Amino acid sequence: MRANTLIMIVLAGVFGVMAVVLANIWLADQRSAMAQSNGAQRDTVVVAAMPLKFGDTLSADKLREIPWPAGALPAGAFKTTKDALAGEGTRQALQAISVNEPILTAKITGPGQRATLSAVLGDGMKAVSIRVNDVLGVAGFVFPGDRVDILLTRTARGDDGADRSFVDVLLQSMKVLAIDQVADVSKDSPTVVKSVTLEASTKDAQKLTLAAGAGQLSLALRQAAASKGETTERVTLSDLTSETPADVAARQAELDKKAAAEAEAAAERKRAEDKIAGLTQAVEKVGSRLDELGKVKPAPAAVTAPQPVVKEEVKYVPPTPPARATIGVFRGVKLETYDVPRQP
């Protein structure tokens, strides 16, 4: 037998023995932990016996008690169903609660209270609504419980008199309490809404109210796990095209100058057309008047009785109408004359 083969067999045997020993140690630890767990003191906790949604009233058939290690009860949990339903009046769920999820005081109302928006607000927080549409509201994909950033778009006049548009991140990580009049966090179908209600401090509520009249508010949906703020900066039109404000102002001035020149040229053409039209009308009126005068025949001259000595014969010769005519046109207080051919 070769030496390499013998060495491999020996190593395989050593590793096998080590694996058996480690497995026995792990099993012994597990048995010890189970023994300690079986001997530990037990308690109970109240959980949901069926799925609950926002506004559902708690009752004995919707709750049940399950075993729970003593000393490890969640904060705000109830040990018995009687404790959860104690008090005058019923309790209602403030958010969606899954089956076997512990019933906590933060997830339900107090005795006799209704599941309203005010019951969901944290200490010192306010509910403020802003108007949105299908675009500003992230196409209806914002639901109660999400967190959003508030963007403010507005236009301000600079020192040079030019208007400049820009966007600022007004507030970050704002909790959405309701969309329109729906505060159920279990809602999962996108809906185009007209308003979104946010949870905000008093100062933030003032900012939102003032910003609603100062510009246009938009929502930016944040990642579900992203609750911390981030450093932001103002975005202007120059950031979109990599141009400086001076470049934008110069291009706008050039466009304004070109538009003014085109407007002046159009006005000059209009004045020339009006002048030609007025002259044409004047010529037509003069020609018509001359025609009327040419059609009038003068009265025949009276023929006197022949004298006995001198014999005269009078013959009427109609006047020849002139071939051209002179017309005068007043331009304000100035008289301008024109020599035009007479129409036959």
**35 — pLDDT class (breaks 50, 70, 90):** low
Instruction: Calculate what percentage of the chain has a pLDDT beyond 90.
Output: 5
| Range of lowest pLDDT (67-76, 211-220, 332-341) | 332-341
Q: What pLDDT band is residue 203 in, cutting at 50, 70 and 90?
A: very high
Q: Where are the domains of the chain?
A: 38-115, 121-237, 243-290+323-344
Q: 253: exposed, middle or buried (C-beta count within 10 Å: 0-12, 13-18, 19+)?
A: exposed
Q: Write the CA distances from 149 to 10, 180, 234, 332, integer angstroms.
A: 66, 18, 14, 67
For the cut 70, the answer to whether the pLDDT of residue 304 exceeds it is no
- 128-187 pLDDT, tens digit per residue, is 888 887 666 676 778 888 888 989 998 888 777 777 888 898 998 888 888 876 666 556
Please report which confidence band the pLDDT of residue 26 belongs to, taking 50, 70 and 90 as the band edges. Answer: confident
CATH fold of 38-115, please? Type Iii Antifreeze Protein Isoform Hplc 12 (3.90.1210)
Which pLDDT belongs to residue 204?
A: 92
96 and 108 Cβ atoms separated by less than 8 Å: no
290 Cβ neighbours under 8 A, 6+ residues apart = 321, 325, 342, 343
Tell me which of 2-6, 103-107, 215-219 is least confident: 2-6
Q: Which helix (H) or strand (E) holds 157?
A: strand 147-157
pLDDT, position 311 = 57
Measured CA to CA, the distance from residue 27 to residue 303 in angstroms comes to 161
**Model pTM above 0.75:** no
Q: What average pLDDT does the structure give for the chain?
A: 79
pLDDT at 133: 75
Burial 30-45 (b: 16+ CB within 10 A, else e): eeeeeeeeeeeeeebb
Cβ within 8 Å of residue 214, ≥6 positions away: 152, 154
Predicted confidence (pLDDT) at residue 257 exceeds the cutoff of 80: yes
